[in-house]
Amino acid sequence: KEKHKILHQLLQNST
């Protein structure tokens, strides 16, 4: 997950 930080963040954002 650390390696794919941006994707992880974008998926967790609700909007």
Partner 1 sequence: SHLLQTEPGSLAANHDASTDGSLRTLLTLCDLLNRELLVLIGWAKQIPGFSDLSLVDQMSLLQSGWMEALLVGVAWRSQSAAGEELVFAGNLHLSEAQCRAAGLADVYEAVRHLTVRYQGMKLRLEEAVTLKALALANSDTDPVDCPDALQRFRDGLHEALQDYELSRREQHRTGRLLMSLPLLRQTADRTVQNLLWLQRQRRIPLHKLLLEMLDAKA
Q: Where are the beta strands (DSSP E) in the chain?
A: none
Per the listing, tokens 């967790």 go with 12
CA distance 15 to 12: 9
Smallest gap, in angstroms, from Cβ of residue 10 to partner 1? Answer: 5
Kindly identify the residues of this chain, within the stretch 1-15, that bind partner 1 according to CB under 8 A. 1, 3-8, 10-12, 15
> How many residues belong to the site for partner 1 (CB under 8 A)?
11
The answer to whether 8 touches 1, Cβ cutoff 8 Å, is yes
Smallest gap, in angstroms, from Cβ of residue 9 to partner 1? Answer: 10
Given the rule CB under 8 A, which residues bind partner 1?
Answer: 1, 3-8, 10-12, 15
